[in-house]
Each structure stands twice: as C-alpha cells, then as structure tokens.
Amino acid sequence: MADRWIETFEGERWPRLYDLYTKEWWTAGRSFEDVVKMVEHSDLAIGLCSDERLVAFARVLTDYTFKALIFDVIVHADFRGRGLGQAIVTRIIDHDRLASVRSFELYCPDRLVPFYAKLGFSKGTANLLFRER
C-alpha cells in the first residue's frame, strides 16, 4: 500500500512521474521535457509513493481564492481500485495552501463523472471553449 505523500519532484522522481504520464490516453504524447516544465509551473503537485514507486499523481493551477483547477489525476494501473484516486483528490481539496479556494474544478470523461460525484463534484453548466496552437 502507498505510504508517503510528496510535493516536490527532482532527481529520480522525474522519470517515475514521466512513466505514469506515458501510460495514460490523454498524456501519452507528452515529452519528458514538457512534463518537467509543466509540473515546475504548476501551483501544487502531489504524488503518492509506495516504497520508491510513484503510484499516484495530480497537479493544480489556482488563484488561491476563487478557483483551483485539478489536472492529471493519475493512479498507476497496478494500484487502481484501492481508493488512491479519492485519496489524492481529497488531499488536494483539504490542502492548507488551498483552504481559501471557493471552487475546485476538473476535466474528466463522462465515464468518470460518478467517481468524482462521490467527492462532491457535479457537472457544470458553462460552455468550455478551447483554442489550441
């Protein structure tokens, strides 16, 4: 079972994090350098380790007042079904640095809406617009 929370990524943690990213459908095409840059520019990054293995990760962009957007909630395939996704999202919501945030938001496919609904999330009504480069 996972036993240690981390909030810093350096040294050997980078390849372990990148390994998680390479196995997910929405993150598989990201380069190692871009993952490092992305995490370094996130307001909060949280990992969960079991021994030296990184088994879960999520990151947050926030203004620390009105909104916190949760990105990339990833649980290693070998550790799914153990409540780690719920644990990492709960840790974010309860994090001291985010205590003043009024609204937590995230993207997820329709199949995961029931999972996040158990954590108090609901489908929003706003239209989300994208512009990609």
Per residue in 54-81, pLDDT (tens digit) is: 999 999 999 999 999 999 999 999 999 9
pLDDT at residue number 133: 77
pLDDT of residue 131: 62
For domain 4-117, the CATH architecture is: 3-Layer(aba) Sandwich (3.40)
- Mean pLDDT per block of 10 residues along the chain (133 residues) reads 84 93 89 96 96 93 97 95 95 97 92 92 77 71
Which pLDDT score is estimated for 98?
98
The closest of 86, 97, 96 to 121, measured between CA atoms, is 86
Nearest one of 44, 45, 39, 53 to 3, comparing CA atoms: 53
Q: What is the DSSP-derived secondary structure letter of residue 102?
A: -
CA dihedral 11, 14, 16, 21 (to 10 degrees): 180
